[in-house]
Amino acid sequence: MAKPTLRHKASPCLAHALRFLTGSFLVFLLLWTLPSFLTPSINPATNLDSSNTKFNCIDPPSDASSSLNSQSHPSLPYDPPDITFYDDPKLSYSIEKRIEKWDEKRRHWLKRHPSFATGAGERVLLLSASQPAPCPNPIGDHLLLRFFKNKVDYCRIHGYDIFYNNALLHPEMFSYWAKLPVVRAAMIAHPEAEWIWWVDSDALFTDMEFKLPLDRYKNHNFVAHGWAHLIYDRKSWTALNAGVFLIRNCQWSMDFMDVWASMGPQTPNYEKWGQVLKSTIPDKQFPESDDQTGLVYLLYKEKEKWGDKIYLEGEYYFEGYWAEIVGTFDNITERYTEMEREAGELRRRHAEKVSEQYGAFREKYLRDAGSGKGGWRRPFITHFTGCQPCSGNHNQMYSGSSCWDGMLKALNFADNQVLRKYGFRHLDALNLSVSELPYDYPA
């Protein structure tokens, strides 16, 4: 038998190698192409995270509702072609045109926009406004800008939407009455919002961590800072303040505002209402009908109709009088600094987006701080009523310097709470300059 040559020995090995390589290539090809069979291609119309997202309003994706309903955040690009109250040509945003069945219309809209359903009961829209023209006071526009920045900061930290208006939505509803047309229009423009929160342009947040205790107001439709005994026992026009209020986006509120606005300057009975309010509320100081006295009047005269749904908040500074607050800022700052020296969890640097968690951490250190007058907790909202930052025509019971210095101090007090997240703080209460904070401040 002939001895096998090297060539004959190599041939079987080569054949095995070729078969192995061929098999490996086929396996690789199968594995490479398999995901394309298992994973469906992405349709741009349903990819809500794409910057090029477009919805065909005539023929929306068939699975849009189910995919949107499972999302944790509202889908801003999606508006189905279904008919809603917006398609009614008789709908008017004007406060002079009555709207009916608003609860039903809101529910219908939310049903057609299921991505807004999650968290709908706590969704808040903050409103504020100023006059259309520039301020007569040389520093008025600068002050209003800082007041507005303060509101934007607060809304950004807590995830609230904000609308700032500088147009007169009703030509005859001027001054303090101008807010009601804005609130009414905002209710219709934002059916996704459960609460509309009006904050006057001369009011600012001085506790950037505090969040509205909405659960406290779950059985009410209107919240204002006030005291019931001053309404029903003394009939005082200062029993509450109408410069800051929270109103639920519902039919009750629509009806309530219709009645409230009926005392305004757009009605033929404006002068008569001034006389009625002046005769009913003894300490009213001027003859014109105004929104705040009108609100007190409705509570006093029509308590059975409206009172059960109105919450007068007096346990904390839902709206605080600046003259009794500004002088406390230094002491409050010292108490909070001392608190943070002892509590490392409050000194920890963190992203601004998670600020609410650190506000929750602080609560256990504030149990004995007290809220409102006499306490050392940061006042929630400080209202510079009577200071008139835009016109400069402040109430003569205050000096101009007390108003302007007070506003600067309050604005810096609030701004330091924001700048802290960015590593800076104002050098002192009346200084616009800032300095960088050291690590682990104020250990």
Residue 385's alpha-carbon distances to 109, 204, 242, 244, 329, in angstroms, are 38, 11, 11, 11, 18
As a whole number, mean pLDDT of residues 335-359 equals 95
pLDDT at 2 > cutoff 80 = no
Kindly report, residue by residue over 64-123, the tens digit of the pLDDT. 343 334 456 889 989 999 999 999 999 999 999 999 999 999 999 999 999 998 888 999
Rounded to the nearest 10°, the torsion over CA 181, 81, 62, 77 is -50
Report d(CA 247, CA 305) in Å as an integer: 16
How would you classify the pairing of strands 222-226 and 240-248? antiparallel
pLDDT at 13 > cutoff 80 = no
Paired tokens of 159: 């995830």
The answer to whether 320 touches 383, Cβ cutoff 8 Å, is yes
As a whole number, mean pLDDT of residues 246-274 equals 97
pLDDT at 40 > cutoff 50 = no
What is the value of pTM for the model shown? Answer: 0.83
Number of H helices, E strands in the chain: 15, 11
pLDDT attached to residue 8: 37
pLDDT at 438 > cutoff 60 = yes
Kindly report, residue by residue over 218-253, the tens digit of the pLDDT. 999 999 999 999 999 999 999 999 999 999 999 999
Q: What mean pLDDT, rounded, does the chain reach?
A: 86
34-48, 94-108, 184-198: segment of lowest average pLDDT: 34-48
Beta carbons within 10 angstroms of residue 275's beta carbon = 12
pLDDT at 400 > cutoff 70 = yes
pLDDT attached to residue 87: 97
pLDDT at 55 > cutoff 60 = no
Long-range contacts of 168-174 (CB under 8 A, 24+ apart): 168/131, 168/132, 169/94, 169/95, 170/94, 170/95, 170/96, 170/266, 172/264, 172/265, 172/266, 173/95, 173/261, 173/264, 173/265, 173/266, 174/265
Q: Is the dihedral of CA 279, 282, 285, 291 positive or negative?
A: negative
Report d(CA 235, CA 13) in Å as an integer: 107
What share of the chain has pLDDT > 90, as a percent?
A: 79
Residues 6+ apart with CB under 8 A from 148: 128, 164, 201
30-34, 321-325, 332-336: segment of lowest average pLDDT: 30-34
As a whole number, mean pLDDT of residues 263-271 equals 96
pLDDT attached to residue 72: 63
Kindly report, residue by residue over 301-323, the tens digit of the pLDDT. 999 999 999 999 999 999 999 99
